[in-house]
Structure formats: C-alpha cells, structure tokens
Chains A and B, each alone.
Chain A
Amino acid sequence: MGVHVPDGFINAPVSVGAGVVAAAGVALALRGARRELDDRTAPLAGLTAAFIFAAQMLNFPVAGGTSGHLLGGTLAAILVGPYTGVLCVSVVLLVQGLVFADGGITALGVNIVNMALVTVVVGYGLFRLLIRVLPRSRASAAAASFVGAVVSVPAAAVVFTLIYALGGTTDVSIGKVATAMIGVHVLIGIGEALITAVTVSSVLAIRPDLVYGARGLAAPLELRTEPAPAAR
C-alpha cells in the first residue's frame, strides 16, 4: 500500500531533479525545526520519527479484506510543527531506504517530495486555514485535521502523476495513471484522515500543549485569588 517508488520507475534525470528539490526542502526544514525545537530538536524529532515509523506498522482494515497504513505526514506536522514534521517523515524514508532497502536509493528524492513535502504542505496548510475560521474547540481541531489529511494523500498522488508525466519510463496515458492513482489514494486518504483526526483529538484531550498546530486553542491559565469555598 505504501507508495515507496523503487529504482527504474522514474528516469534518471527526473530522479536527480527530484533529489535536488528534496534536498532543498529538507535543508529548509532543518532550519525551521531549530526554530521550533532549538537544542531539543535531535531527541524530540528522533523520537517522533520512531513514532511515525511504528505507526506505519499499525494496519487498519479498509474494505473487502484489504488493509492500509498511515503515511503520517499531516499527523506529524500537526503534532510537532510543519518543519519538524517534514524532517521526521524524510528521516523515516531515508532510514527505510538505506537500512531496510525499502524504496530505491535513486528514488529517495521522489519519495521525499511526495510523502514528506507535499503531504505536509497541503495537509498542514489546510489544517491551519481551517483552524483560523472554525470556532476554537477540540471538535474543530479534529475536523480540520481530518480535512487536511484526507486531501493530503490524493495530493501526493497528483504530484506523483506529474512526476510520472515528466519522467515515467513507460508510455501510459497520463489520464489512466491519474485515475488509478487518485482513485486508490482517495480511499487510503479516508483511513489516513480518520486516524489523524482521532489521534490529534486524543492527544489534545490529554496534553493540549503538545499539539503544535493547535497551540492557540488552549485557554490561557488564569490566576484566581478568591479563597476557595471551605471544604465541609
């Protein structure tokens, strides 16, 4: 179910081009993550990456016996911030490619562009947009993360189709690739969105301060100086 592109799927020039875009995106994310987490970046982003890696092992049933698993881009961005989110998913992809031979080494750029950059930019962008217009509550944070995640997965499929149109190694009509990719990923997106929304909502219920994307939602603590009613 994962969209880890292997070697040979996309031709060499486009793979190298995607690698350059991915490197620029990761460099930008490295800078931004230092702003989000300063010297806590390495352990916190590392543990979040381990969490995303483990979360991808959790299969959820989709329909007719097939199952899907989380990509996690939008979820990571909402929980720890967009820059750290890009970094976490990119590191997961890097380790999967190098240590577990999952996803081609020349396709790493394509995979990072699709699954880290696009999902975070689209998913987190939509989430923030909705958080601004919706009433300030836990339900609307959950709804916003649902919408962000549900759109982010087909968006990654659209960008994959564009990359395929540029550097695909077989002459398949782009319409067919787009229909197949987007069709499947709308379904995956619904599972992704359900998991993302419930996860964000349950973290918000326990530690609202840890949800980066919804920090503005928590009511500021107030100091009450009136004496409490005496206990009977």
Chain B
Amino acid sequence: MGAGHAHRLYVAGASPIHRLPPQCKLVAVLLFVLAVVATPRERVWAFAGYAVLLAVVAAVARIPAGLVLRRVVIEVPFVAFAFLLPFIAEGERIAVLGVRVSEDGLWGAWNILAKGTLGVVASILLASTTEPRVLLLGIERLRAPQLLTQIAAFMLRYTDVVSAELARMRTARAARGFEARDLRATRVLARSLGALFLRSYERGERVHLAMVSRGYAGRMPATADVGATAAQWSAAAVLPAVAALLAAAAWMVP
C-alpha cells in the first residue's frame, strides 16, 4: 500500500447499478460477500458462479474490466502469504510437480485467493458505482450513528487538502537536499508529521468556528434524501439471493 490511496474509484455513469440507492447496494454487497466467505472451499464451481455474477454486475454497470483488475493489486501482500501456505501448513503431504506440499495448505491458499479476490472485486464494484459522499449517506440510512458518518465525511472532504500539505512539505524537504535513506531520516519525517498534525488540527478548529458562525449545532442539514422503494430493494436483492442459492447448493451437493 506504499503508493497510498490517492486516486478514487468512482466512475461517473447512469447505469441501473449507479442509480440504485446506496443503502441497497451496501446491504447487497455485504450479504454477497458473507455468502462467499461461508462457502466450503472445495466447491470450486460455486466460486466460478460468484465470479460470473460479479462479471454480470460489472457489465450492467459498464465498469471496464481493466479498471477492476488494476485495483485488485491491493491484495498482493496477502497473495504472497497465500503462496506460502502450502509449504507451512500442517496435514497430509501430496506431491505437486515433484514438490511435497501440504494438501490443506493448498486448499487454504485457494480459499484465500478465491474469497479475497471475490471480496475485493465486489468492493471495487460498489465503490466505482457509488460516489463516496452518497456511500456515507447510505451508511447513515442503515442507522449508523450520525456522528460517525459526519467524521467520515469531514475526513473525505479534507483528505486531498491534508495530502497536498504533505506533498508541499515533501517538495520543501527535497528542495533542501533531503533524501530518506535509512532510519536516521525518521527524525526529519516525524517532524514533518508533527507540523502536519498541527496544521490539520488548527484547520479543524477554524472549520468548526466557521460552521458555528453558520448555525451548526451538532447536526448537518440533509441536502439530499436517498429513500429506497420496494422495487429498488428487490432489484438489489437479486445478487445476494442468487449467491445465497449457490452457497446453499455448495453446502448440500457433495
């Protein structure tokens, strides 16, 4: 994750998936991923089914496959762990290409790769079809405390400002010949962080005063309402319902 999270996933569009209310999509993705996680790992066909479901969603939402694949890279540290599993796990050993590996470890690696990838792709599809601000409205609609979503909204709003301050500090350090080589660089970097905290916190104090002067009393005014109709809920329910059928079949079919 060294590259940071500078670019956002949202792709503007007007597909039926884009237009679904955020709370429906959130619940659908959560239930879908739960069904995936609860599926026995030996039923490879079920995971193929989940992948087809996600491909259909991506096609309907007109999200290009390249964008999804580029973002899946976020998983890489865990992929490395998954490749270690066949060698360190316990259980019966089998020979694959002449190397003796643990059978349970092989299944474990497959389990993490399949479920992790399906989970990441589902999250990417959610984030690329829903504006961050609207996503937070959706969480609020699902009875998350308003204070929590307010904090998240402030964080999203000011992340670019704070990151830009950090980038200006990096430029200033570079202009003075600084280069992070080893642990001794920590001192300089941490001082930048101290300054960044002060600038962020003091900006927060100013933002609060500006809000109070405009009548803020602990609640943000609702500017957009995102109510969902029964039809929209049932449209969103298609994905988790099919996934639940697949999961149930995977449990019952040997």
Contacts and interface: CB of A to CB of B under 8 A. Distances in A.
Interface string B158-178: 110111011000000000000
B198 A2 contact: no
Contact count band on A: 35 or more
A15 B115 CA distance: 13
Interface string A100-122: 11101111000000000000000
A232 B192 CA distance: 40
5 contacts: A2-B1, A6-B115, A46-B153, A171-B90, A198-B194
B197 interface: yes
A54 B159 contact: yes
Given A199-B194, A202-B191, 13 more contacts: A8-B115, A30-B148, A42-B218, A43-B208, A46-B157, A47-B204, A49-B154, A51-B197, A58-B189, A67-B2, A105-B119, A171-B104, A203-B194
Contacts of A12: 34, 37-38
Contact of A7 (B33, B105, B108, B212): B33
Summarize A's interface: helix, strand, loop or mixed. helix
Contacts of A198: 186-187, 190-191, 193-194
A158 to B, nearest CB: 18
B209 to A, nearest CB: 9
A60 B111 contact: no
Interface string A60-71: 111100010110
A141 interface: no
A8 B75 CA distance: 12
A49 to B, nearest CB: 4
* Among B75, B107, B220: residue with most chain A CB under 10 A: B75
Given A170-B89, A199-B197, A46 B154 contact: yes
B251 interface: no
Summarize B's interface: helix, strand, loop or mixed. helix
Interface in B132-170: 132, 135, 139, 145, 147-148, 150-159, 161-163, 165-166
A211 to B, nearest CB: 10
Contact of B126 (A8, A98, A172, A195): A98
A101 B9 contact: yes
B222 interface: no
B180 interface: yes
A56 B107 CA distance: 33
Interface of B: 1-2, 4-6, 8-9, 26, 29-30, 33-34, 36-38, 41, 71, 74-75, 77-78, 85, 88-91, 104-105, 107-109, 111-112, 114-116, 118-120, 122-124, 126-127, 132, 135, 139, 145, 147-148, 150-159, 161-163, 165-166, 180-183, 185-187, 189-198, 200-201, 203-205, 207-208, 211-212, 216-218, 220
A171 B108 contact: yes
B158 to A, nearest CB: 4
A9 B78 contact: yes
Contacts, number: 287
Contacts of A62: 183
B115 A92 contact: no
B162 A50 contact: yes
B198 A206 contact: yes
Interface of A: 1-2, 4-9, 11-12, 15-16, 26-27, 30, 33-34, 39-51, 53-63, 67, 69-70, 79-80, 87-88, 91-92, 94-102, 104-107, 169-173, 176, 191, 194-203, 206-207, 210
Contacts of B124: 101
B115 A7 contact: yes
Contacts of A104: 33, 116, 119-120, 123
A199 B190 CA distance: 5
B90 A172 contact: yes
A42 to B, nearest CB: 4
* Among B1, B38, B135, B153: residue with most chain A CB under 10 A: B1
B92 to A, nearest CB: 11
Contact of B180 (A7, A60, A197): A60
Contacts of B147: 30, 33-34, 41-42
Contacts of B88: 172, 176
A173 B85 CA distance: 11
A144 to B, nearest CB: 16
B159 A173 contact: no
A50 B200 contact: yes
A8 B36 contact: yes
A57 B190 contact: no
